[in-house]
A = this chain, B = another copy of it.
Amino acid sequence: MADTTTGTDLGRRLARLEERTRALEDEREVTRLILSYGPLVDSGSADAVAGLWDTDGVYDVDELLMRGQDQIAAMVRSDAHQRWIAGGCAHFVGPPRVTVAGDDATAVSYSLMVTHEDGGFVLRRATANHWTLRRADTGWRIVNRTARVLDGRPESPALLASGVSTPVPNEERA
Protein backbone atom coordinates (compact mmCIF):
# COMPACT_ATOMS: atom_id res chain seq x y z
CA MET A 1 0.00 0.00 0.00
CA ALA A 2 2.73 2.42 1.02
CA ASP A 3 4.72 1.42 -2.07
CA THR A 4 1.78 2.04 -4.36
CA THR A 5 1.24 5.46 -2.86
CA THR A 6 4.91 6.27 -3.28
CA GLY A 7 4.88 5.06 -6.86
CA THR A 8 1.91 7.23 -7.72
CA ASP A 9 3.43 10.19 -5.97
CA LEU A 10 6.77 9.70 -7.71
CA GLY A 11 4.95 9.39 -11.03
CA ARG A 12 3.22 12.69 -10.47
CA ARG A 13 6.43 14.48 -9.50
CA LEU A 14 8.18 12.94 -12.48
CA ALA A 15 5.44 14.07 -14.87
CA ARG A 16 5.67 17.62 -13.48
CA LEU A 17 9.46 17.58 -13.91
CA GLU A 18 9.13 16.34 -17.47
CA GLU A 19 6.88 19.31 -18.20
CA ARG A 20 9.29 21.79 -16.62
CA THR A 21 12.23 20.32 -18.50
CA ARG A 22 10.29 20.48 -21.74
CA ALA A 23 9.56 24.16 -21.09
CA LEU A 24 13.27 24.88 -20.57
CA GLU A 25 14.17 22.91 -23.71
CA ASP A 26 11.57 24.74 -25.79
CA GLU A 27 12.85 28.13 -24.73
CA ARG A 28 16.42 27.00 -25.43
CA GLU A 29 15.46 25.72 -28.91
CA VAL A 30 13.74 28.97 -29.81
CA THR A 31 16.70 31.00 -28.55
CA ARG A 32 19.14 28.85 -30.50
CA LEU A 33 17.08 29.15 -33.69
CA ILE A 34 17.05 32.94 -33.42
CA LEU A 35 20.80 33.02 -32.71
CA SER A 36 21.40 31.01 -35.90
CA TYR A 37 20.15 33.85 -38.08
CA GLY A 38 23.21 36.10 -37.90
CA PRO A 39 25.92 33.49 -38.60
CA LEU A 40 23.86 32.03 -41.45
CA VAL A 41 22.95 35.31 -43.13
CA ASP A 42 26.44 36.77 -42.79
CA SER A 43 27.93 33.66 -44.37
CA GLY A 44 25.47 33.69 -47.27
CA SER A 45 23.95 30.34 -46.28
CA ALA A 46 20.78 31.12 -48.21
CA ASP A 47 18.94 27.81 -47.89
CA ALA A 48 19.81 27.44 -44.23
CA VAL A 49 18.55 30.97 -43.51
CA ALA A 50 15.29 30.20 -45.32
CA GLY A 51 15.04 26.91 -43.41
CA LEU A 52 14.76 28.81 -40.12
CA TRP A 53 11.31 29.90 -41.30
CA ASP A 54 8.14 27.87 -41.79
CA THR A 55 7.46 27.02 -45.45
CA ASP A 56 5.15 30.02 -45.75
CA GLY A 57 6.82 32.10 -43.06
CA VAL A 58 7.06 35.88 -43.34
CA TYR A 59 10.05 38.18 -42.88
CA ASP A 60 8.80 41.72 -42.72
CA VAL A 61 11.55 44.37 -42.78
CA ASP A 62 10.89 48.07 -43.14
CA GLU A 63 11.59 48.31 -46.83
CA LEU A 64 11.00 44.69 -47.83
CA LEU A 65 8.29 42.09 -47.24
CA MET A 66 9.37 38.50 -47.87
CA ARG A 67 6.76 35.75 -47.99
CA GLY A 68 7.92 32.13 -47.95
CA GLN A 69 11.31 30.47 -47.93
CA ASP A 70 12.05 31.22 -51.61
CA GLN A 71 11.81 34.96 -51.17
CA ILE A 72 13.95 34.81 -48.03
CA ALA A 73 16.63 32.74 -49.79
CA ALA A 74 16.48 35.16 -52.73
CA MET A 75 17.23 38.08 -50.41
CA VAL A 76 20.37 36.30 -49.16
CA ARG A 77 21.44 35.56 -52.74
CA SER A 78 20.74 39.10 -53.96
CA ASP A 79 23.59 41.25 -55.24
CA ALA A 80 22.90 43.77 -52.50
CA HIS A 81 23.31 41.22 -49.71
CA GLN A 82 26.33 39.57 -51.35
CA ARG A 83 27.99 42.98 -51.47
CA TRP A 84 27.50 43.37 -47.71
CA ILE A 85 29.21 40.03 -47.13
CA ALA A 86 32.05 40.83 -49.51
CA GLY A 87 32.69 44.16 -47.81
CA GLY A 88 32.36 42.85 -44.26
CA CYS A 89 29.09 42.72 -42.36
CA ALA A 90 27.70 41.69 -38.96
CA HIS A 91 24.01 41.13 -38.31
CA PHE A 92 24.46 41.14 -34.57
CA VAL A 93 21.27 39.77 -32.96
CA GLY A 94 20.96 40.42 -29.25
CA PRO A 95 19.77 37.87 -26.70
CA PRO A 96 16.07 37.24 -27.31
CA ARG A 97 13.49 37.38 -24.54
CA VAL A 98 11.36 34.36 -25.33
CA THR A 99 7.85 33.37 -24.25
CA VAL A 100 6.68 29.86 -25.04
CA ALA A 101 3.04 28.77 -24.76
CA GLY A 102 2.45 25.24 -25.91
CA ASP A 103 3.33 24.97 -29.58
CA ASP A 104 3.55 28.75 -30.08
CA ALA A 105 6.22 31.19 -29.04
CA THR A 106 7.01 34.88 -29.29
CA ALA A 107 10.31 36.62 -28.79
CA VAL A 108 11.60 40.15 -28.77
CA SER A 109 15.17 41.20 -29.50
CA TYR A 110 17.32 44.02 -30.75
CA SER A 111 19.63 43.68 -33.69
CA LEU A 112 22.51 45.82 -34.88
CA MET A 113 23.77 45.92 -38.43
CA VAL A 114 27.46 46.73 -38.56
CA THR A 115 29.33 47.12 -41.85
CA HIS A 116 32.92 47.62 -42.77
CA GLU A 117 33.43 50.74 -44.86
CA ASP A 118 36.52 52.73 -45.79
CA GLY A 119 38.68 50.77 -43.37
CA GLY A 120 36.42 51.31 -40.37
CA PHE A 121 33.21 49.92 -38.90
CA VAL A 122 29.88 51.68 -39.17
CA LEU A 123 26.79 51.07 -37.04
CA ARG A 124 24.24 51.30 -39.84
CA ARG A 125 21.10 50.32 -38.00
CA ALA A 126 19.63 49.49 -34.61
CA THR A 127 16.43 47.54 -35.06
CA ALA A 128 13.51 46.24 -32.97
CA ASN A 129 12.55 42.64 -33.75
CA HIS A 130 9.37 40.77 -32.92
CA TRP A 131 9.35 37.04 -33.63
CA THR A 132 6.50 34.54 -33.63
CA LEU A 133 7.36 30.88 -33.90
CA ARG A 134 5.57 27.56 -34.10
CA ARG A 135 6.57 24.03 -33.22
CA ALA A 136 6.69 21.94 -36.42
CA ASP A 137 7.31 18.20 -36.68
CA THR A 138 10.96 18.94 -37.31
CA GLY A 139 11.38 21.50 -34.55
CA TRP A 140 10.63 25.17 -33.99
CA ARG A 141 10.32 27.44 -37.03
CA ILE A 142 9.78 31.18 -37.50
CA VAL A 143 6.26 32.08 -38.59
CA ASN A 144 6.82 35.82 -38.65
CA ARG A 145 9.73 38.13 -37.98
CA THR A 146 8.92 41.81 -38.05
CA ALA A 147 11.86 44.19 -37.91
CA ARG A 148 11.54 47.97 -37.62
CA VAL A 149 14.45 50.33 -37.42
CA LEU A 150 14.65 52.43 -34.24
CA ASP A 151 14.79 55.81 -35.99
CA GLY A 152 11.84 57.41 -34.25
CA ARG A 153 9.03 55.75 -36.20
CA PRO A 154 6.33 54.88 -33.63
CA GLU A 155 5.99 51.29 -34.88
CA SER A 156 9.36 50.32 -33.41
CA PRO A 157 8.70 51.06 -29.74
CA ALA A 158 5.24 49.51 -30.18
CA LEU A 159 6.87 46.34 -31.48
CA LEU A 160 9.17 46.20 -28.45
CA ALA A 161 6.27 46.67 -26.05
CA SER A 162 4.19 43.96 -27.71
CA GLY A 163 7.08 41.52 -27.43
CA VAL A 164 7.12 41.83 -23.67
CA SER A 165 3.40 41.88 -23.02
CA THR A 166 3.32 38.69 -25.15
CA PRO A 167 -0.22 38.24 -26.35
CA VAL A 168 0.28 34.49 -26.62
CA PRO A 169 -2.54 32.08 -25.71
CA ASN A 170 -2.22 30.52 -22.24
CA GLU A 171 0.52 32.89 -21.25
CA GLU A 172 2.11 32.14 -17.90
CA ARG A 173 1.03 34.31 -15.03
CA ALA A 174 2.91 37.58 -15.29
Contacts and interface: CB of A to CB of B under 8 A. Distances in A.
Nearest to A3: B3
Contacts of A126: 88, 90, 92, 114, 116, 121
Interface stretch (A14-22, A53-61, A64-72): A14-22
Interface residues of A, number: 66
Interface of A: 2-4, 6-7, 10-11, 13-14, 17-18, 20-21, 24-25, 27-28, 31-32, 35-36, 38-40, 42-45, 48, 85-90, 92-98, 108, 110, 112, 114, 116, 121-126, 128, 149-153, 156-158, 160-161, 163-164
Given A88-B149, A90-B150, A121-B126, 14 more contacts: A3-B3, A6-B11, A21-B24, A24-B28, A35-B96, A35-B97, A36-B97, A40-B160, A42-B160, A43-B157, A43-B158, A88-B152, A112-B114, A116-B126
A92 B11 CA distance: 44
